[in-house]
Amino acid sequence: MEEDYKENREIYMMIENCYDSDDPRDREILKTMLAYRLDNSVIPEIKQLHEFIKNESIFEISAEELSIKVLILQEKFNLIVKEKGLRPAFDELYYQEMFDLSKQIWG
């Protein structure tokens, strides 16, 4: 019983801390992906996303780092959906915003 509690607590803490509020580029990546998806009805490939970010001078990032960040953001979203469903509630507004952006892209 105690092991179940510890495992559930670890999963909860992982989900609650899943989005990195220390890197504002994460939010910009999601916003850019969503804008691209709304304009083109598809999720952008990394090359397209990188070119758009570079051309718009949104911020500097290598294509490799962008690819890794997108993969991590998508995995975090999938983990939350698996553990909390498509309507989770977060204590912090930043986490809720990150989830809502992710949901509009991958949900």
> DSSP secondary structure string, 58-78?
S----HHHHHHHHHHHHHHHH
Residue 4 to residues 9, 11, 63, 70, Cα–Cα distance (Å) = 8, 11, 40, 31
On whether the CB atoms of residues 49 and 33 are closer than 8 A, the answer is yes
Q: Phi and psi at residue 24, in whole multiples of 5°?
A: -65, -15
In this predicted model, what pLDDT tens digit does every residue of 50-82 receive, in sequence order? 998 988 878 889 999 999 999 999 999 999 999
Mean local confidence (pLDDT), 18-46: 87
Structure confidence at residue 1 (pLDDT): 46
Residue 51 to residues 8, 46, 58, 59, 66, Cα–Cα distance (Å) = 41, 8, 11, 11, 11
Structure confidence at residue 55 (pLDDT): 87
Structure confidence at residue 3 (pLDDT): 54
Burial degree of 48 (CB within 10 A; 0-12, 13-18, 19+): middle
Q: How far apart, in whole angstroms, are the C-alpha atoms of residue 89 and residue 84?
A: 9
